[in-house]
Structure 1
Amino acid sequence: MDTVTVNDIQLEYEIRGSGEPVLLISPVLPDGFVPLVAEPALSKHYQLIRYHKRGWCGSTHTPGPVGVADHAADALALLDRLGIDRVHVAGHSTGAAVAAQLAQDRPDRVVTVALLELTLLSVPAGEAFFAQVVPAFEAYADGEAERAVGLFLSVAAGMDRERCRTLLDARVPGSVMQSLKDADTLFGIELPALAEWRFGPDEAAAIRQPVLSVRGGNTQPLWVDVAAFLRATVPDVEDCVVDGVGHLLHIERSRPVAEALSRFLARHPITS
């Protein structure tokens, strides 16, 4: 990947394809968009920009706290350095939180927003989900990073640990090992920042751009609740349900996700 200096840090980034720019903001799997950018439905029609947020992979690791708004500022600075004025933004899980924040902060720069299972803990199912991941935090506190990461990814994916590891090794090779290296970011910075992030009805209503809300047909109650929240609060939102997948929807089945995203972007071009 290439590197660029923004906000006194270095960010790793990669650009693939040509056309209208689409900024992809990843969650706790920093290379989770790799299967999606390989799909012709997107790569043949759009300039796809994916990057590693600060604290992940080779991007600069800074002491916490690093909030969702900080990541949004980094994303904007990256666009500035790349000379991109207006852009489509897509994010998955915690990355979708950054996408939503960026859309609020700079509506003049963000044309559309695609939220792939936005993680929002303030919805009714948020408390139950947090209770499920408590053992992962406990394992991390005990110095068992491998067990902690495995537990967290398994709970989020809605799969047993072996199946989750097999899927990620096949579709995003090296991603689990990288998550182990970045465990301090995951448990010490990223998840606490998400818990502090405020995104209520007023913030959701402030997003005036067209929004695509994507969830898996087999996902967990947390993301079903989030999709319902977005339908009730975001002024211009379209729903998309991908059958047969859970929270790792674009990793499990990248083609239907890419096709849905491509159709959405085509309906809302930057040049219109």
Structure 2
Amino acid sequence: MKTANVNGIELAYDVQGEGEPVLFIHGAIWADFLRPLAEQPAFSGFQRIRYHRRGYGESGGPADGFDQQAADIVALLDHLEVDRAHLVGHSEGAMIALVLAAAYPDRVRSLALLEPLPPSSWLAAGDFADVLGILGPAFEAMAGRYRAGDIAGAYESLFEPTGLDWRAAAEAAGPGVVEQGFQDAATFIDGEASALVEWNYGAEQAATIDSPVLSWSTTSENPINPASRAFLYELFPQREEIILDGGDHFSVATDPAAVAEPIAEFVSRHSAAAALT
């Protein structure tokens, strides 16, 4: 990957193809988790920008909050001389995409949000408070096993309540992804886990966003999925929605073609070229 000096760190990035820019923002733990998605033929008509967030993969650290990470993306777009990009954010990456779109709406052409975790305050105040009863113990168990030197066990503790097979998904994302996740465990557990808990986002921030919004989710029994859909519907009643039948949170790596095709179609319909026709 190439690197750019961004806000005092070296940010690793990769650019493939030509056309309107689509920037992929990966979630926690695995810097290359969206590589299979970005490489799908459905996106072949676009310039695909993939990067490693600060503290992950080949990018420098330390980790920082979502405001800083949104600023990192804007600086990377400046480095690449990209005025506006379509954003595809997965999980924590979708949360960062939301922050970026609210703070820099003129840099976003469309916003595809793949199962972001709603803020703790929003969960506690509504019909999904039980999700906090799942996440809290999972984060606590994860931290305990990590402190004991069991990184694989820490990931098991985090994903076991949702029934997700993190190792199979990381292996599907490509060679070296599992090992990279072990190397970057401190970035998430020591650096970003607290940002997930402290994240606050609501109607005031969403009101500044004027780009088309897509909510992507799955039919898996993961209890976070319906909460994510309800959160995005409350913020963006006009949003478009895709629900992948039979998929789960990790389908971006294990079934990337099924994920890519409807997202690419959404991006195409909201491209600058489509606006001129």
TM-score above 0.5, yes or no:
yes
Gaps of 5+ in 2: none
Q: Measure, in 2, the Cα distance between the counterparts of 1:113 and 1:212.
A: 6
User: Match of 1:58, SS?
Assistant: coil
Percent identity, aligned pairs only, is 37
The 1:120–1:232 alpha-carbon spacing in structure 2 relative to 1, beyond 3 Å, is closer
8 Å Cα contact 2:172-2:254 kept in structure 1: no
Give the secondary structure class of the aligned counterpart of 1:32.
coil
C-alpha displacement of 1:6: 1.0
Partner of 1:239: 241
Instruction: Give the match for residue 150 of structure 1.
Output: 156
Q: CA deviation at 1:47?
A: 0.6
Question: Are the counterparts in 2 of residues 120 and 126 from structure 1 also a CA contact under 8 Å?
Answer: no
Alpha-carbon distance in structure 2 between the residues aligned to 1:225 and 1:59: 32
RMSD, aligned CA: 1.7
Alignment-derived partner of residue 178 in structure 1: 180
Q: Counterpart of 1:108 in 2: which secondary structure?
A: helix
Paired amino acid for 1:139: R
Partner of 1:30: 31
Matches of 1:146 and 1:172, distance apart in 2: 18
Deviations 1:166-216 (A, max 9, x none): 342133322121111011101011111121111123323432211111011
1:40 aligned residue: 41
Q: 1:101 aligns with which of 86, 99, 102?
A: 99
* Aligned counterpart in structure 2 of residue 221 of structure 1, from 216, 220, 223: 223
Unaligned runs of at least 5 residues, structure 1: none
Q: Offset at 1:3? A: 0.6
- Residue 256 of structure 2 corresponds to 254
Structure 2 CA distance for aligned equivalents of residues 207 and 128 of structure 1: 31
Count of residues in correspondence between the two structures: 265
Following superposition, which runs of at least 4 residues in structure 1 exceed 6 angstroms of deviation?
none
CA 1:118–1:201 in 2, change beyond 3 Å: closer, same or farther? same
> Amino acid of the residue matched to residue 4 of structure 1?
A
Preserved contact between residue 111 and residue 209 of structure 1 (Cα < 8 Å): yes
Pick which of 199-208 and 19-28 moved more. Answer: 199-208
Q: How far 1:17 moved relative to its partner? A: 1.5
Partner SS state of residue 22, structure 2: strand
Which of 126, 132, 136 is 2:138 aligned to?
A: 132
